[in-house]
Structure 1
Amino acid sequence: MPETLSNRKAHRTTEQGGTVTEGPAPDLTQYDAITCNLSGGKDSWLMECLAMQEVLEADVEDRVYSFHATLGALEWPSVKTSAEILPSVSTLAALQSSASGLPADRHLESTKMTQNDTPAVYDLLTYVAAYGRFPRLGTRFCTKAYKEQLEEAAMTPIINQLKVTLGLATTPTARKLDRPIRRLKVLGLRSDESRDRAERPAYRNISSNSIRHTDEWCPAKDWTTQDVKDFHAASGFQHHWTYDSYPGAGDWEGTSRCSCSFCVLSSKRDLIIAVRRRPRLAALIALVEAVRGDTFQAGRSMHDLIELSQQKGGPDPGVVLNDETPEFEAMEKAVRAALSRPPRKGIDRATLNRPRLPLLTDPSTTCDARC
Structure 2
Amino acid sequence: MSDRQMISAPPEVQDLIDGGALFAVNSSGGKDSQATLITVARLVPPTQLLVVHADLGEVEWHGALDHARAQAEAAGAPFIVSRARKTFFDLVEHRHRTYPAASAFPTSAARQCTSDLKRDAIVRDTRRYADQHHFTQIVTCMGMRAQESPRRAQQAVFKRSARYSTARRDWFEWLPIHALSTDEVFSVIHAAGQQPHPAYARGNERLSCVFCIFGSRNDLRAGAAARPELFERYVELERRTGSTLSQSRRPLEEVTGLSVAEAYALHARSLT
Say if 2:158 and 2:174, in contact at 8 Å, map to a contact too. yes
- Summarize the Cα distance change of 1:193–1:240 in structure 2 as closer, same or farther, 3 Å threshold: same
Counterpart-to-counterpart distance in 1, 2:68 and 2:94: 29
TM-score (norm 2): 0.82
Say if 2:25 and 2:49, in contact at 8 Å, map to a contact too. yes
Counterpart-to-counterpart distance in 1, 2:53 and 2:41: 17
Number of aligned positions between the proteins: 248
- Summarize the Cα distance change of 1:146–1:187 in structure 2 as closer, same or farther, 3 Å threshold: same
Offset of residue 31 of structure 1 = 5.2
Indicate the RMSD between aligned Cα atoms, in angstroms. 2.7
Structure 1 counterpart of 2:130, from 152, 156, 159: 159
Structure 2 counterpart of 1:274, from 217, 223, 238: 223
- Summarize the Cα distance change of 1:42–1:197 in structure 2 as closer, same or farther, 3 Å threshold: same
Q: Give the letter for the 2:67 counterpart.
A: L
Q: Give the letter for the 2:267 counterpart.
A: V
- Summarize the Cα distance change of 1:232–1:156 in structure 2 as closer, same or farther, 3 Å threshold: closer
Match of 2:80 in 1: 108
User: Which structure shows the higher helix fraction?
Assistant: 2
Q: Which moved more, 1:91-100 or 1:194-203?
A: 194-203
Match of 2:255 in 1: 305
1:320 aligns with 2:267: yes
- Summarize the Cα distance change of 1:31–1:183 in structure 2 as closer, same or farther, 3 Å threshold: farther
Counterpart-to-counterpart distance in 1, 2:187 and 2:239: 43
Say if 2:253 and 2:259, in contact at 8 Å, map to a contact too. no
Match of 1:195 in 2: 150
4+ long deviations beyond 4 Å: 21-26, 316-319
1:123 aligns with 2:87: yes
Q: Give the letter for the 2:43 counterpart.
A: E
Residue correspondence of structure 1 range 162-181 to structure 2 within 5 A: 162=133, 165=134, 181=136
- Summarize the Cα distance change of 1:233–1:318 in structure 2 as closer, same or farther, 3 Å threshold: farther
Counterpart-to-counterpart distance in 2, 1:266 and 1:54: 32
Where 1:151 maps in the other structure, the secondary structure is helix
Residue correspondence of structure 1 range 193-272 to structure 2 within 5 A: 193-206=148-161, 207=163, 208-245=165-202, 254-272=203-221
Counterpart-to-counterpart distance in 1, 2:50 and 2:173: 14
TM-score (norm 1): 0.61
Say if 2:228 and 2:264, in contact at 8 Å, map to a contact too. no
- Summarize the Cα distance change of 1:54–1:91 in structure 2 as closer, same or farther, 3 Å threshold: same
- Summarize the Cα distance change of 1:260–1:53 in structure 2 as closer, same or farther, 3 Å threshold: same
Q: Give the letter for the 1:193 counterpart.
A: E
Offset of residue 275 of structure 1 = 1.9
> Identity over aligned residues, as a percent?
25
Offset of residue 126 of structure 1 = 2.8
Unaligned runs of 5+ in 2: 1-8, 97-103
Match of 2:4 in 1: none
Unaligned runs of 5+ in 1: 1-20, 78-87, 114-121, 167-180, 246-253, 323-371
Say if 1:37 and 1:68, in contact at 8 Å, map to a contact too. yes
Query: How big is each residue's C-alpha offset from its partner over 1:49-79, in whole Å with a ceiling of 9 and x where there is no partner?
Result: 11111114xxxx32221100011111111xx
Counterpart-to-counterpart distance in 1, 2:217 and 2:25: 30
Query: How big is each residue's C-alpha offset from its partner over 1:316-362, in whole Å with a ceiling of 9 and x where there is no partner?
Result: 9997289xxxxxxxxxxxxxxxxxxxxxxxxxxxxxxxxxxxxxxxx
Offset of residue 33 of structure 1 = 1.9
Match of 2:71 in 1: 96
Offset of residue 110 of structure 1 = 1.4
